[in-house]
A and B are shown apart, each in its own frame.
Chain A
Amino acid sequence: MIHFLYKVRLFLVLPVFIAFVSILVFLFCDPFKIVRKYDNYSGYKVNLEYVTMSKFDEKYQKERYDSFIFGSSRVLGFRASSWQKYLKQDSHVYVFSAYYENLTGFYNKLKYLDSLGIPIKNSLVLIDPDLTFEVVDYESKGFFAVKHPNVSSNTWFHFYLAHISAYFTFSYQKQMYSELLGLTKEPVQSGAIRDIDKVFDPLTNEFSCPNVDSYIEKLDSNNYFFTNVYRFPTILDENIIKENKIQPDFRKILEEIKEIFMKHKTEFKIIISPLYSQIRFNNSDMDVLYDIFGENLYDFSGRNFITVSKYNYYEHSHYRPHVGDTILKLINQHN
């Protein structure tokens, strides 16, 4: 046994040394911006929820945020400044976003705000028919989707470990060097926007991609959409989800969300995202949502004037900010 342990120890000397050096490199380079605090996270491959939560924790006392947008990376379609126009002048907007955000993620953030005693005067909630009521395995999505420990059951150890492991994977290194060497020229790669083109507003955390917008505008827009045709698969028909997505557990969470809004007397609007796939909930799920949120629910999913046009999208997953502007105008006219 002693001999065995001695050999194991000997064998592990090199890996432990390399791991130690690697961790030092990680701490020094801080590739995902999670080791030190930064004023600006724009242009880096970051965990969206980490950026959202750490900036919020840093600034909420000073900025006195009271109006919040909640959603997945599709908040890209909503500008804080556009929403601000429809709010009282002294409102302070903050955008909460996270990759693959589902209902539990949004609920945990709302509870977090409530536990801090922050007033929630206005709220805009984006529901994605293909995501919000899914049980997401965040671990398998990648480090950028690992949940922030303040709004999940994750520990900081787990959070950092996931990031460190991701940094040393072949796929990350390959992508990093491709971007550094300028081998990825187009701002939209593999159906997603390049990290170096992502911009976060330091105050509102509005998430946008001005470079991509100007790229699209500079070129003849037909040209962009023509050359990127594979990002826009042909949608033949409206895509109604057959099975009921809102299970009893989710319904309970939805009711608790409404209770928090009632408690804070929040002016809230729930928007069902207009997705390019024209996916929409079935009638049973829609009934549940209407039953709970009533006239605060605005459905832009399925086949409609937004979803039939690819010009409203960066790629099949994310809609562009002018769509958000249109939606905001419509729902505020409605009132």
Chain B
Amino acid sequence: MLFNSVSFAIFFIFVFFFYWFVFNKSLKWQNIFLAVCSYFFYGCWDWRFMFLLGFSTFLDYFSGLQIAESKTSFKKKFWLILSVGINLAFLGFFKYYNFFVESFAQLLLSAGFTPHMTTLNIILPVGISFYTFHGLSYVFDIYFGKIKPTRNWIDYSLFVSFFPLLVAGPIERATHLLPQVEKTRVFNYSKAVDGLRQILWGLFKKIVVADNCAELVNTIFNNHENYSGSTLVLGAMLFAIQIYGDFSGYSDIALGTARLLGFELLQNFRFPYFSRDIAEFWRRWHISLSSWFRDYLYFPLGGSRGSMAKTIRNTFVIFLVSGFWHGANWTFLAWGGLNALFIMPSIVFKTNRKNLDTVAEGRMLPSVRESFQLITTFCLASLAWVFFRAESITDAFFYIKRIFSESLFQRPDVISGKVLLIVVVFMVIEWLGRQNRYALEKLTLKWNRYLSWSFYYLLILAILCLTGSEQQFIYFQF
């Protein structure tokens, strides 16, 4: 049940009405209802994985209680390791088993051995990386004394399985979401309207921007050996836009849906392509994952508190792990490694926290210097995305090598006026709304009703008439 499908719309209308009109008298029943709906939502992909979700939930719930009740630090550590170990074992088996077997076989082959290893026909449970990380953050927070464990199984189940964030995040923290689950929620008109607005913008990003870019991107990446350097540059840049539209569009729909039900989820994107350096880009891209790795991996490793060498090591570790989190392919590792390299100058020269504000704040246009910084950052990010999108490392290198050829200065072979127009309109709206949580948040607030509604109608019309062919969300595979 995709967020951009009619079935989800029908499902959500059903949930909304029962939640606010039937179960509104009791928080307990509201939570039970939402948990049941979340399991149903998950079961629509593959009912068998509902048991996996259930087991993972039980494991973390139980471990959390045991950690809190353990008197000795040895026992606490035992329950933490047990929970983390089993969670990662599941993740490793479903996501990485075949990758490790194939890589090991390849290694043996290159060493002159003839390996006889079999891979398994494993189906990756949708959202496993996301809900595993939800659960882990809960156990870590209890272990480090940040929160007390909940003793309400339903509340905890809802925290893990809450359908707006179940399959592609944002990766929530127990410290942020669990108190909202436990507290009575009251319908708020302006928040609900804001939620609808964010859903509309999310759908536009996904259906109009990302799906239309996808058509061109797929054509270019699937036949990159036949295209000129300039076309490949266009392909890389359009993929950067596609993945942003796709993933941030999903996050917007998730946040908007949750807001309609009275929940506030963590912001996942803050206009990452309006960043002046790669460090700023990473403070604005997939924020819930970056901050997860920062809090539970980077800081425990020592963060930037030790020597420069240690800081560099820690930075590489989180980028490589983050790359590997995305999938079992060397291309993701290369993508992570490349981003670590790009961020390195700002780590070494300690300028990584230089750009904490919004670019061109209070001004309509950026300065020449800022423009240059924005373009450079976008180009670097796009270059790294080539590895993310390519089928293999060889393909990625071949793609990049072909970019830097004489054909770079030719007219691109594949140009779509429609797609370019969509991208330009999209980026302009994003630019105008860059100081808010999402582009549309305050854009239309000062307009009169007729104008703002006309604008929304126009967006709806674009969603209906400019539908691209791609439908699946990219991050569902992670």
Are B6 and A161 in contact (CB-based, < 8 A)? yes
B347 within 8 A of partner (CB): no
- List the B side residues contacting A3 at CB < 8 Å: 189
Q: Is B193 an interface residue (CB 8 A)?
A: yes
In the complex, what distance in Å separates the CA atom of A163 from the CA atom of B112?
Answer: 56
Kindly state whether residue B108 has any CB partner on chain A within 8 Å: no
Is A169's CB under 8 angstroms from B189's CB?
A: no
Q: What are the residues of chain B within 8 A of A88 when measuring CB–CB?
A: none
| CB of A37 to closest CB in B, whole Å | 27
Any A CB within 8 A of the CB of B453? yes
B464 interface residue (CB < 8 Å to A): yes
Instruction: Looking at the assembled complex, report how far the CB atom of B357 sits from the nearest CB atom of chain A, in whole angstroms.
Output: 35
List, in ascending order, chain B residues with CB within 8 A of A140's CB: 469-471
CB-based contact B471/A139 at 8 Å? yes
Tell me whether A11 and B453 are in contact (CB under 8 A): yes
Partner of A4, one of B192, B453, B467: B192
Query: Which A residues are in CB contact (< 8 Å) with B457?
Result: 14-15
How many Å lie between the Cα of A280 and that of B401 in the bound state? 31
Q: Is the CB of B465 within 8 A of A15?
A: no
Contact of A169 among B20, B192, B467 (CB under 8 A): B467
Chain B: minimal CB distance from A83 (Å)? 35
Q: Is the CB of B469 within 8 A of A170?
A: no
Judge if B466 is at the interface, Cβ distance under 8 Å. yes
Least CB distance from A153 to B in Å reads 14
Residue of chain A at shortest CB distance from B5:
A139
CB within 8 Å of A: which of B168-193?
187, 189, 192-193
Q: Contact: B418 with A170, CB < 8 Å?
A: yes
Distance from B225 Cβ to chain A, minimum over Cβ atoms (Å): 11
Q: Which residue of A lies closest to B211 (CB)?
A: A140
A7 within 8 Å of B (CB atoms): yes
Within 8 A of A (CB), among B182-219: 187, 189, 192-193, 196
CB distance from A23 to the nearest CB of B (A): 13
A294 interface contact, C-beta 8 A: no
B189: chain A residues at CB < 8 Å are 1, 3-4
Partner of A170, one of B20, B187, B456, B466: B466
Closest residue to A22 on the B side, CB-wise?
Answer: B464
Q: How far does the alpha carbon of A80 sit from the alpha carbon of B204 in the complex, in Å? A: 47
Residues of A within 8 A of B460 (CB): 15
CA A137 – CA B471 in complex, angstroms?
Answer: 10
**B193 with A4: CB separation less than 8 A:** yes
Q: Specify which chain B residues have a CB less than 8 angstroms from the CB of A170 in the assembled complex.
A: 418, 465-466
- Given A11-B453, A15-B457, check contact A1 B20 (CB 8 Å): yes
CB distance from B245 to the nearest CB of A (A): 17
Most chain B CB neighbours (cut-off 10 Å) among A1, A8, A141? A1
Which residues of B lie under 8 Å from residue A309 when comparing CB positions?
none
The secondary-structure label for the interface of chain B is helix
Binary flags per residue of B444-463, CB closer than 8 Å to A gives 1, else 0:
00000000010011001000
Q: In the docked arrangement, what's the CA distance between A8 and B193, Å?
A: 9
User: Hey, which chain B residues are within 8 Å of A139, CB to CB?
Assistant: 471
Contact A168 B464 (CB under 8 A): yes
- Chain B 9-26 interface residues, beta-carbon cutoff 8 Å to A: 20
**Is A149 part of the binding interface, using a Cβ–Cβ cutoff of 8 Å?**
no
CB closest residue in chain A, given B24:
A1
Q: Contact between A1 and B187 (Cβ–Cβ < 8 Å)?
A: yes
Bound: A4/B193 CA distance, A: 8
Q: Is chain A's binding surface mostly helix, strand, loop or mixed?
A: helix
Question: Is A165 touching B453 in the complex (CB atoms < 8 A)?
Answer: no
Which A residues are in CB contact (< 8 Å) with B464?
165, 168-169
Of all chain A residues, the one with the shortest Cβ separation from B214 is A140
Contact A142 B469 (CB under 8 A): yes
**Docked-complex contact A169 and B466, CB < 8 angstroms:** yes
Which A residues between 144 and 184 are near B, CB-CB below 8 angstroms? 161, 165, 168-170, 173
Contacts of B193 in A (CB 8 A): 4, 7
Q: Which chain B residues border A165 with CB–CB below 8 Å? A: 464, 467
Please measure, in the bound complex, the distance between the C-alpha atom of A173 and the C-alpha atom of B467, giving whole angstroms: 12
Closest to A174 in B: B418
Q: Whole-angstrom distance from the CB of B191 to the nearest CB of chain A? A: 10
Chain A residues with CB under 8 Å of B196's CB are 8
Quick one: closest A residue to B226, CB to CB? A233
Docked CA distance A140–B471 (Å): 7
Q: Closest residue of chain B to A248, judged by CB?
A: B121
Which residues in A have their C-beta under 8 angstroms from that of B6? 161
Q: What is the CA–CA distance of A8 and B189 in the complex, to the nearest angstrom? A: 11
Q: In the complex the two chains form, what is the Cα distance from A8 to B226 in whole Å?
A: 50
In the complex, what distance in Å separates the CA atom of A264 from the CA atom of B173? Answer: 62
Tell me how far the C-beta of B121 lies from the nearest C-beta in chain A, rounded to whole angstroms. 8
What residue in chain B is nearest A19 (Cβ atoms)? B464
| B-chain residues with CB within 8 Å of residue A168 when the two chains form the complex | 464-465
**B464 shortest CB reach to chain A, Å:** 6
Give the shortest distance, in Å, between B475 (CB) and chain A (any CB): 18
Q: Chain A: which residue is nearest B215 at the CB level?
A: A171
Q: How far is the CB of A256 from chain B (nearest CB, A)?
A: 21
Q: Is the CB of A4 within 8 A of B187?
A: yes
Docked pose: A141 CA to B469 CA in angstroms: 7
Chain A residues in 8 Å Cβ range of B187: 1, 4
Cβ distance A6 to chain B, nearest Cβ, rounded Å: 11
How distant is the Cα of A8 from the Cα of B20 in the complex, in angstroms?
15
Which residues does chain B contribute within 8 Å of A7, judged by CB atoms? 193
- Minimum Cβ distance to chain B for residue A169 (Å): 5
A142 to chain B, nearest CB (A): 7
Let me know if A169 and B453 touch, CB within 8 A: no
Q: Which A residues touch B456, using CB under 8 A?
A: 11
CB distance from B123 to the nearest CB of A (A): 12
Map CB proximity to A onto B1-41 as digits: 1 under 8 Å, 0 otherwise: 00000100000000000001000000000000000000000
In B220-245, the 8 Å CB interface with A consists of 226
How many angstroms between the C-alpha atoms of A140 and B468 in the bound complex? Answer: 9
* Cβ of A273 to closest chain B Cβ, rounded Å: 22
Bound state CA distance, A253 and B123, in angstroms?
A: 21
Chain B, residue nearest A7 (CB): B193
Chain B residues whose CB sits within 8 angstroms of the CB of A141 once the complex forms: 469
Question: Are A169 and B465 in contact, with the CB atoms below 8 A?
Answer: yes
Q: Whole-angstrom distance between the alpha carbons of A7 and B190 in the complex?
A: 12
By a CB distance below 8 angstroms, the chain A residues around B192 are: 4
With both beta carbons as reference points, the residue of chain A lying nearest to B462 in the complex is identified as: A170
Bound complex: CA of A259 vs CA of B467, how far in Å? 43
Q: Which residues of B contact A173 (CB under 8 A)?
A: 465
A-B contact pairs, 21 of them (CB 8 A): A1-B20, A1-B187, A3-B189, A4-B189, A4-B192, A4-B193, A7-B193, A8-B196, A14-B457, A137-B471, A140-B470, A140-B471, A141-B469, A142-B469, A161-B6, A165-B464, A165-B467, A168-B465, A169-B465, A170-B418, A233-B226
Those 4 A-B pairs whose CB atoms lie nearest each other, nearest first: A170-B465, A1-B187, A170-B466, A4-B189
Given contacts A15-B457, A161-B6, 10 further A-B contacts (CB under 8 A): A1-B187, A1-B189, A3-B189, A4-B192, A7-B193, A11-B453, A165-B464, A165-B467, A169-B465, A170-B465
Give A residues with C-beta under 8 Å from B. 1, 3-4, 7-8, 11, 14-15, 137, 139-142, 161, 165, 168-170, 173, 233
